Chains A and B, each alone.
Chain A
Amino acid sequence: MNVDSRGRMLLTAFVALTLTVLPLPPWLDVLRPAFLVLTVLYWSVNAPRTGGIALGFFAGLMLDVFQGPVLGEHALALSLITYIAVREHQRIRSKPAIQQALFVFVALVFYEVVLFMIDGWTGHPVTSPLRWVHTLTGALIWPPAAAILAYGAGRLA
């Protein structure tokens, strides 16, 4: 079962990564939620021992390869929020989807703050307010996204 769910996890992560790097027109790109981050959050909350922080770290590393100015930036940010999600997974899991979305919003803001600080330290400051838009769309898309992931997980099981 463990191997099985790990396979599903990697599959969904791969799909999410594809959605993240899919080329989109600029106005849509601003709105694009961080699909991979949402997927990692889902697995951290619902299968904290299978994925957990290692999943966050390696997913972040992949994001760094695709769009990070410095290797390790997204890895650190994602490790942080997966850690929070894993620690609080029981509390989060028992809540209805709307309240989960609130948690996701906070987690995404943390994530973006970490990225923002590292961007500043490494000399790639991007201060446009548009970089925060995805935290909101990510929270909004969380209920359907979690339902799809749960459906896929149940279906494949």
Chain B
Amino acid sequence: MAAFGTAAGRPLTGRGGSPGFRFTLYALLSVVVMYLDQRQHYLEQVRYVLQATAYPVQLAVNSPSAAWRWLRDSLQTREALRAENSRLRTTQRDLELRAMRYEALARENSELRGLREALPPIADRWLAAEIVNIQLSSLRQRLLIDRGAANGVFRGQAVLDDKGLIGQTTHVGPWSAEVILITDPEHAVPVRIERTGLRTIAVGAGDTSSLALPYLPGNADIKNGDLLVTSGLGGVFPEGYPVARVTEVHRDAVQPLAQVRAAPLSHVSTDGEVMLVWFRMGRQPTPAGDGDAVGELGSGNAAMQPQTTPPRPRPAPQATPVPQPTPPAAPEPHPTPTQQTTHAPRKVPAAAPAAARDTPAAARDTPGAASDAAAAGPADSASAPDATPPATAASAPEPRQP
């Protein structure tokens, strides 16, 4: 290979000093930039500008596949379009019927609970975004979408598709945004097992078809086919959206924790479009760290709950319970199922704290761990009256008049 275009005899020391000097200069610059970006977050503006300049390149890179999609769409036959149209019409009718029923059920549910203000947030605004670039390596699973700050996208916004949760935005540029997928090895999403209400954390496994649930105890009530939905803890993802389905549960008598895998319901690799969601309750993105799931990880070992209570109809997870003093004078050891549903939700497992206290790991989390409704701080204060008579197994729940 021929040397190209240099007079090899000339010394390298040119305008900028010797290579060693220049290297030191640039290395120092890199370290300063890293420090500012990592610790101080001064460089969001710089990133914003750089992302804007990088966007044309990413668009150009995406143009072949975009052209292919366009070509395929425009070459569809009339019959295919007709068939698709009728199929979509059927689906829409079904969905409208279901939505009607859903509205009624939601209203009824909130009335039954008497907790109108504690309803989970409802999607207020949707914005479809096209996937511009997609990285699905085992180290990094990111999307680039063609919506940015100009469309009101903010950092830490939930991204969904029609089947389930996809991820959240990490870096937002003027016209584009980067989305970290729930399957990225750096991402963790707080979930709830829909069947039992057990809360845990699903961590990305670096593979688009699997999530790991590493924090479930060996005796956790979980089995193949269980649906995982977002638990709403951490404040990034709204509550109740489907995330994944459990595919593999491995219990080892030696290991204290069960090894559980789940398959995400969203299908990113075949999607062309995703949905950005705004919620009515005005949840702000967590101010935490670098946006990479710090907020969710903060909700900690909610997963480390002992399964002391049997599966039961799920009480409202977002409930902000009003501490109702329970009179110990009215003992009623076994609340009937009707009371369970009509009563304020977090009264139900009143028996649990005493039992849960046996396990040292749960000691700190006892008030929260024992009840599904322990979404936030108020649970701690509210559980005090419950725990006052520890001798009686179940302090009587006060039946509310329907």
Binding site for B on A (CB under 8 A): 1, 5, 14, 17-18, 21-23, 25-26, 29-30, 46-50, 52-54, 56-57, 60-62, 65-67, 69-73, 75-76, 79-80, 82-83, 86-87, 90, 93, 97, 100, 118, 122-124, 126, 128, 130-131, 146-147, 150, 153-154, 157
Chain A's nearest CB lies how many Å from the CB of B289?
Answer: 8
Q: How far is the CA of A86 from the CA of B134 in the complex (A)?
A: 34
Q: Which residue of chain A has its CB nearest to the CB of B137?
A: A29
Q: Which residue of chain A has its CB nearest to the CB of B62?
A: A23
Q: Within 8 Å of chain A (Cβ to Cβ): is B97?
A: no
Chain A residues, CB < 8 A from B135: 23, 29, 67
Asked if A75 and B57 make an inter-chain contact with CB atoms under 8 angstroms apart, the answer reads no
Given the interface pairs A52-B22, A79-B30, A150-B2, the reply to whether A65 lies near B50 with Cβ below 8 Å is yes
Q: Within 8 Å of chain A (Cβ to Cβ): is B139?
A: yes
Q: How far is the CA of A29 from the CA of B269 in the complex (A)?
A: 14
Asked if B57 and A18 make an inter-chain contact with CB atoms under 8 angstroms apart, the answer reads yes
Asked if B138 and A30 make an inter-chain contact with CB atoms under 8 angstroms apart, the answer reads yes
Chain B residues, CB < 8 A from A97: 1
Q: How far is the CA of A122 from the CA of B10 in the complex (A)?
A: 41
Asked if A76 and B57 make an inter-chain contact with CB atoms under 8 angstroms apart, the answer reads no
Identify which of residues 107-139 in chain B touch chain A, using a CB-to-CB cut-off of 8 Å.
Answer: 133-139
Give 15 CB contacts A-B under 8 Å. Answer: A18-B60, A23-B65, A26-B136, A46-B6, A49-B12, A65-B47, A65-B54, A73-B30, A73-B34, A75-B33, A76-B31, A79-B23, A80-B27, A130-B137, A153-B5
Q: Which of B13-21, B88-96, B376-384 lies at the interface?
A: B13-21
Q: How far is the CA of A122 from the CA of B61 in the complex (A)?
A: 29
Q: Which residue of chain A has its CB nearest to the CB of B50?
A: A65
Chain B residues, CB < 8 A from A71: 33-34, 36-37, 43, 46-47, 50
Q: Within 8 Å of chain A (Cβ to Cβ): is B391?
A: no
Quick one: which of A50, A65, A100, A118 contacts B34, CB cutoff 8 A?
A: A118
Asked if A150 and B8 make an inter-chain contact with CB atoms under 8 angstroms apart, the answer reads no
Binding site for A on B (CB under 8 A): 1-6, 8, 10, 12, 14, 16, 19-20, 22-23, 26-27, 29-34, 36-38, 43, 46-47, 50-51, 53-54, 57-58, 60-62, 65, 133-140, 142, 185-186, 206, 208, 290, 292
Chain A residues, CB < 8 A from B34: 70-73, 76, 118, 122
Asked if B139 and A128 make an inter-chain contact with CB atoms under 8 angstroms apart, the answer reads yes
Q: How far is the CA of A53 from the CA of B288 in the complex (A)?
A: 35
Chain A residues, CB < 8 A from B8: 90, 93
Q: How far is the CA of A14 from the CA of B185 in the complex (A)?
A: 29
Q: How far is the CA of A71 from the CA of B75 in the complex (A)?
A: 43
Asked if B37 and A70 make an inter-chain contact with CB atoms under 8 angstroms apart, the answer reads yes
* Shortest 3 CB-CB contacts between residues of A and residues of B: A72-B33, A76-B30, A72-B34
Quick one: which of B19, B32, B208 contacts A86, CB cutoff 8 A?
A: B19
Asked if A1 and B5 make an inter-chain contact with CB atoms under 8 angstroms apart, the answer reads yes
Given the interface pairs A128-B139, A130-B139, the reply to whether A79 lies near B1 with Cβ below 8 Å is no
Chain A residues, CB < 8 A from B14: 49
Asked if B292 and A124 make an inter-chain contact with CB atoms under 8 angstroms apart, the answer reads yes
Q: How far is the CA of A124 from the CA of B139 in the complex (A)?
A: 10
